[in-house]
Structure 1
Amino acid sequence: MQGQLKKSRLISRISKERLGSYGYLDEQQLDSIIAKYLWNCALSESLYESLHWLEISLRNNIHTAASHVWGNSWLTNGQLLAPEQRLVDEALERLIKEGKKTNPEDITAALNFGFWTSLFRKDYEQKLRPILPRIFPYVTPASDRTRKIISDRLNTIRKFRNRVFHFEPIISYKPEIRYGEIKQAMEWMAPELIPFLELNCGFSAEFAKGDAHYVSEVKKILDLME
């Protein structure tokens, strides 16, 4: 009875809804469900670094390319459409409120991944033409270096990134394929960063473990609750 109470409290702490997204939730399946949950957490954590490198590469390549064509203050000199300009204004306001510097590089760092991916929507087709080759100089074949192809790739990664950062279930989103797409997008921009990513990113090793890797340890912990 005491063991059931402890397990019930465990489920409520994580939430039935969250655990239930990994399969049918009952006491007989609890070890398997928690193992899947733990593996998902580990997978998500292992993807943080690749997503970090991608975001850094993207925003810096865009800023460098756009500055070359429109000047270093392109974020505030009328190049953006209203929705993106509003996000820049909000970021600038936050920096001022926090007493931080407001030079173009500081504003660039204050803008989130969603902002940078939004610059590849159709409304920016004409604007992007002179800078796209500078942002993504290593796309092969060159015919694939189009706004639409790049926008589709970045938005697929953005949606996946949101699930990762909120520790939502990602296995049905084929994380091994998404990881390959993240690396390829980096190769399009900054291939010299890939060896550093591979040196420290544990995604491939973690993915190879599978959720079964966690089952025996989960069983031990649950058995202690009896």
Structure 2
Amino acid sequence: MHPTDPDNFEYVVAKPRLDSYRSYFKVATTEEAIALYMWNCEISSCFSTLLSYFEITLRNNIHRGMSLHYSDPHSVFEGKYWWDRIESELGRKTMESVNKIRLKNSVPLKPVPSADEIVSRVSFGFWSSVLGHINAAHATAIFPVIFPHHHLNENTNQWRDATTRKNAISFIYEINQFRNRLAHHEPLWKFGRIMDMSIKPAIMKMPESSNFLDSIERFLRILNLFDGAMRAMNLTLYNDLLNSSWRNKLNQLLSFRGLERYRTGKYYCINDSVKTPDQLSMEFSGILANNRPVRIADAVGAGVFVPD
């Protein structure tokens, strides 16, 4: 999107919100701040799609692993689903997510929600809590189902060690924080500090971001965590996502050229002029140097060329 009235756009999103872009990215004009706002929107859109696949894969793998160990995945075993059988281990707060869904359905003639319904409705926090509460005695049976391609499966007894297990699943808490900021429409480039909670007292692993280079580094860190998790859970889907349009666009947005296209304030917008394929070929070097998307059209069709 290209806001046609910068003053109106600032009025809608609020000046303090755009001021955070001005100060962080050291830009002077409203147009530049808006362009970086658009950059954040584009990144949010790509990450939202990728993380939706991450969440679905994780919750289904956990449900599958727990079901195979404690009961059948689609039926009640001795009157209970797997989360009921380990209710005391999961704790009251975690079970509240399940019980709230059941209460909404506790009306006459309405069927009790199935396992699949509950799985699809509980919050993402439920699954991170389940991972953290898996009994060490059952870890060698459950974790290899959740993460079938994890390197710890070379010796599944490694899953029994509390510190090793905690480090192996620590990615989920960092991704969850990022996901929550995305869900609340917060500026994704504003990263908080990362604490190492595996030791007492906890120490700081990474400080909060303070400039755009820090932000790029932290975005790439999130992508690296995402890649590791998806690769461990499902290799085929991981490779599909790696080659997806969302990932390719995200790679471009997080490159120096991608960011600079937005920092200039206007070059992220497609040029109004339309070029033929021959003109694109002749002017290719200049278009790359200009770092701005251009429209291409001929008798066959039309499209947009975006410089990488």
Q: Are residue 157 (structure 1) and residue 175 (structure 2) matched?
A: yes
* Larger RCO of the pair (alpha carbons < 8 Å, separation 6+): 1
1:164-203 superposed matches below 5 A: 164-173=182-191, 174-197=218-241, 198-201=243-246, 202-203=249-250
Taking structure 1 as the reference length, the TM-score comes to: 0.80
1:35 offset after TM fit, Å? 1.4
Structure 2 CA distance for partners of 1:126 and 1:213, relative to 1, 3 Å = same
Quote the RMSD (CA, aligned, Å).
Answer: 2.9
Match of 1:22 in 2: 21
**2:55, 2:137 → 1: CA distance?**
21
Contact 2:21 2:36 in 1 (8 A): yes
Taking structure 2 as the reference length, the TM-score comes to: 0.61
Structure 2 CA distance for partners of 1:46 and 1:218, relative to 1, 3 Å = closer
1:135 offset after TM fit, Å? 0.9
**1:101, 1:211 → 2: CA distance?**
50
Structure 2 CA distance for partners of 1:95 and 1:150, relative to 1, 3 Å = farther
Of the two, which has the highest radius of gyration?
Answer: 2
Q: Secondary structure at the match of 2:22?
A: coil
Q: Which whole-Å deviations, capped at 9, do the CAs of 1:30-58 have from their partners, x for residues lacking one?
A: 12211111101100101122101111111
- The counterpart of 1:211, out of the listed 234, 237, 259, is 259
**Equivalenced residues, count:** 213
**2:111, 2:259 → 1: CA distance?**
44
Unaligned ranges ≥5, structure 2: 73-80, 192-217, 271-308
Contact 1:46 1:206 in 2 (8 A): no
**1:9, 1:148 → 2: CA distance?**
48
Q: Which whole-Å deviations, capped at 9, do the CAs of 1:100-144 have from their partners, x for residues lacking one?
A: 8711111111112111111233x5443762411221121125477
Identity of aligned residues (%): 25
Structure 2 CA distance for partners of 1:127 and 1:60, relative to 1, 3 Å = farther
- The counterpart of 1:87, out of the listed 82, 90, 97, is 97
Structure 2 CA distance for partners of 1:127 and 1:213, relative to 1, 3 Å = farther
1:17 offset after TM fit, Å? 2.5
Q: Which has the higher strand share?
A: 2
Amino acid at match of 1:16: K
Contact 2:22 2:33 in 1 (8 A): yes
Q: Which has the higher helix share?
A: 1
Match of 1:120 in 2: 131
Q: Secondary structure at the match of 1:22?
A: helix
Unaligned ranges ≥5, structure 1: 1-5, 221-226
